[in-house]
Amino acid sequence: MIIDPMSKLPLIIIGCTAALCSVLSAQNKMRPTWSDEFQGRGAPDRNKWTFEQGFQRNQELQWYQNNAWQENGELIIEARREPVRNTKHVAGSPHWYANRQHAQYTSASLRTVEKYYFQYGRMQVRAKIPCVPGAWPAIWTLGKKGEWPNNGECDLLEYYKPDIILANTVKGTTKPYHAAWDTAKFPVSTQFAAVDSDWRNQYHVWTMQWDEENIRLYVDNVLLNTSPQPWLQNAVTTWGPKHPFKQPHEILLNLAIGGNGGDPSKTTFPIRYYIDYVRVWEGYTTNQAPTDLALPQNQVTEGQPAGTVVGKLYAADPDPAEVISYSLVNGEGATHNAAFSVSFVSGETRASVLKTKEVLKSEGGSTRSIRVRATDIEGATYEKVLTIQVKKAA
């Protein structure tokens, strides 16, 4: 039977009373279900994570072992230049993981396989990655059922040569172990370091927003990639489910050396990958717009140079940890809007900075009104007129 969704839609909307709609949205509401804040000491929590061991994939150079620990509220993954004997060595083997007698590097890869899986919701990871030649840090997920890539892979983060950030989704094709990629690549120098020259040394928040319609991947407030579910279907079901992203996924955190990471031979080791937290909210976004916008500090002294920070903008949103972006809009305060700009704050998902765009004078009225718009992850918006006092210089 063919159901025309366009003809059904008005009936569904009419049929959903206010009370019913609120019950439905309460059932689907996004709620925090799993996290690791890494507040412990020493080895990672064994109830959450499993260490991979030895050579694993992509002809990478590192031997995976237990090179990760919790310290100062963080998970630290450390890659070292140290020779380790390949315990699976087979002389003359055609396989890369067997014919190497030694590994020259060690590192760690942690996964939640058989310990935790989630399906639909939001995953956020705050981390500082090593942006050096040879390093290939990643934050990713793998589907529970199916052979790779037909189980589905989502890369919230990959960093590798030549200094690029990637955000990808991966599905199967008609050939085994042959993937189709929806890849977004961003050179750090032009995309991130151009805004914040210290970007490589800062913590950032990587977000996966996943529902029955799309997967969206963000770093800080910036949308990097959207993969629609229809694209995410496998070509065949020989090695995995038809819909690899309509099944539970595990979480992986790793620091590979070599492979796509490039040549590590001139890099100083050890190198470290710091992870502050991994948080998951399950369920569906209620798609409610932000409810308020605030600028706690709203004064600037006249004569300050362009680029002076007026204060931080904050938006309140009924959905937890919603990624929100800010913009200045025309309308009320349009003239005054021209005197200000909004900048992204590294590592923050809920705040942005309001800066002066020109040297402001107190004469002709010391109050400026500007219209600011907050847009959440679903594209729902909220606008508010904020006033800025331009104080006379002493």
Which residues are catalytically annotated? 153, 158
Size of the site for Ca ion (CB under 5 A): 10
Among 167, 317, 373, 386, binds Ca ion (CB under 5 A): 317
Q: How far apart are CA 54 and CA 190, in angstroms?
A: 36
Q: Does 376 bind Ca ion (CB under 5 A)?
A: yes
Q: Does 36 bind Ca ion (CB under 5 A)?
A: no
- The tokens for 246 are 């309509």
Give the contact letters, 70-99, x = binds to Ca ion (CB under 5 A), - = no: ---x--------------------------
Q: Does 250 bind Ca ion (CB under 5 A)?
A: no
String of DSSP letters for 59-119: T-SEEE-S-EEEETTEEEEEEEEEEEE-TT--TT-SSHHHH-SEEEEEE-EEE-TTT--B-
When the beta carbons of 38 and 160 are compared against Ca ion, the nearer one is 38
Among 52, 153, 155, 322, binds Ca ion (CB under 5 A): 322
Residue given tokens 């412990």 in the structure block: 40
When the beta carbons of 73 and 248 are compared against Ca ion, the nearer one is 73
List the one residue out of 225, 167, 163 whose CA is nearest residue 200: 163
Is the Cβ–Cβ distance between 298 and 308 less than 8 Å?
no
DSSP state of 284: B
Q: Does 211 bind Ca ion (CB under 5 A)?
A: no
| Bridge partners of residue 296, in order along the sequence | none
When the beta carbons of 29 and 246 are compared against Ca ion, the nearer one is 29
When the beta carbons of 126 and 336 are compared against Ca ion, the nearer one is 126
Of the ranges 155-163, 208-216, 280-288, 361-369, which one interacts with Ca ion (CB under 5 A)?
280-288
Give the contact letters, 355-374, x = binds to Ca ion (CB under 5 A), - = no: --------------------
Residues 6+ apart with CB under 8 A from 362: 302, 390, 391, 392, 393
Which residue ranges make up the site for Ca ion (CB under 5 A)?
A: 37-38, 73, 276-277, 288, 317, 319, 322, 376
